[in-house]
Amino acid sequence: MKRSPLFIILLVAFVDLVSYGLIIPLQATYADRMGANGLTFGLLVGIYSLMQLIFNPLLGRWSDRVGRRRVLLLSVGGSIFSHALLGVADLASSLPLLFVARTLDGITGANISTAQAYIADVTTKENRAKGMGMFGAAFGLGFVLGPAIGAGLAFIGSLISGPVHGTAWPAFGSTLISAGAFFLIWRYLPESNVKATDRSQQRRIPHLNMMAALFRQPRLRELFTLTFSVTFAFVLLEITFVFLCTHRLGVRETGAGLIFAYIGILMVIVQGGLVGRLSKRFGEASVISVAPFITSIGFMVISFVAEVDSLSLAWTALMVGCIPVALGNGLTTPNVSALVSKEAPKDQQGMVLGTNQALGSLARAIGPLFGGAMYDVRAALPYWVGAGLFFAIGLYAVKIRPRHILNGNKQQL
């Protein structure tokens, strides 16, 4: 494993996610202040994911052609502008401008597949799951510091600028941190795709034809199905979690940020310490066949937050339920990405991982609509449905496990 480039891309991912994490707990606050209900907030989150659905495979394929570094510079540069626009939208109390900011960030922020392709470039197949797990850990660590810093900036901003304008501080803070990520890429990140200048083959194949060819491969199709279904089920929690904490537990921006930091710490422990060890010992496919059942248990526990009368029991359910959720999801995502990367030809890592991320973005585009609407009916409903979905996903993972074990063993010979 080439440690120096890997360390730099992980550092870039960490800084980028600190910037992103500043905003996540405040999206609901922004939307709620501007009169949005659960469904409108679902649309706000969904438009971001819809843009990622469209642009993830495009940017991934482009990174195969022109290089990972250029695409990362473009996407992070776009995030700088979109985060600044988000702060302006909050100051102006403009819901349409808020939608524009999230749309732009969805377009230029579709860089996860490019970063994953970079990791695939600088890791061996044996270390791929470990590299993807470390990438997920960098994301989790960003979510530890990002929401905490965002909560602190919102608190300081409220003291200085008042409660109405103080919440714009995290958005502008995110702008500065994104600028830091841009500098790291520009100054320190070497190009990993040394064959990026050979574009003739990729130019002759239309983009949609390449995607269709990927879906005709049975093992890739099964992994794509896992990515979509896992993401869709998890989004039911993501889209409603801040509303649940705000309405049921009475927390505000600072409290929501600290809860997200707690989840981030759990994700760091799982993806930074457990993924590589478990995948190496049991294989990615075996880990994936167990993890969704663990997530299902976590969803059921968290559903009690909305159902119990005692506030102390609700807090207990939240703290306990987050553990299996972080464990199950933290083991699933990097292992699926590792298997997808192993199936991809060397010169199509960006395209294949971009398509995989696009399916996740599709789930994130439509999932919030269902999650928000279900939450409006009953607060616990998204968690009950999510638990059932994860149980079904676990059964599907058990069914396809033998084919991916055989394929993984073949690739390691």
Predicted pLDDT at 408: 47
Q: What confidence tier does 404 reach under pLDDT thresholds 50, 70, 90? A: confident
CATH 3.30.540.10 fits 3-185+218-412, yes or no: no
Q: What pLDDT score does 2 carry?
A: 45
pLDDT for position 294: 95
Model pLDDT for residues 106-138, shown as the tens digit of each residue: 887 767 778 878 887 877 777 777 777 777 777
The pLDDT tens digits for 211-262 are 667 777 888 888 999 999 999 999 898 888 878 888 888 876 567 667 777 7
pLDDT band at 406 (very low <50, low <70, confident <90, very high): low
Query: What is the rounded CA–CA span in Å between residue 48 and residue 371?
Result: 16
The per-residue pLDDT for 25 is: 63
1 vs 26, residue with greater confidence:
26
Residue-wise DSSP of 286-340: HHHTTHHHHHHHHHHHHHHHHH-S-HHHHHHHHHHHHHHHHHHHHHHHHHHHHHH
Identity of the amino acid at 323: I
- Split at pLDDT 50, 70, 90, the class of 199 is very low
Whether residue 12 is predicted with pLDDT greater than 70 in this model: the reply is yes
Tell me the pLDDT band of 411, cut-offs 50, 70 and 90: very low
Three-state DSSP state, 153: helix
The yes-or-no verdict on residue 46 having pLDDT over 50 is yes
Dump pLDDT digits (tens) for 267-290. 778 777 777 778 778 888 888 999
Residue with tokens 């993972």: 397
End-to-end CA distance of the chain: 18
Rounded mean pLDDT, 7-22: 75
- What average pLDDT does range 143-151 have in this prediction? 75
Q: Which residues contact 367 (CB under 8 A, 6 or more apart)?
A: 46, 49, 231, 232, 235, 236, 239
**Domain parsing of the chain, residue ranges:** 3-185+218-412
Query: Of 251-260, 317-326, 367-376, which gets the smallest average pLDDT?
Result: 251-260
Return mean pLDDT, the chain. 79
Instruction: Give one DSSP letter per residue of 94-140, joined into a string.
Output: -HHHHHHHHHHHHHHT--HHHHHHHHHHHS-STTHHHHHHHHHHHHH
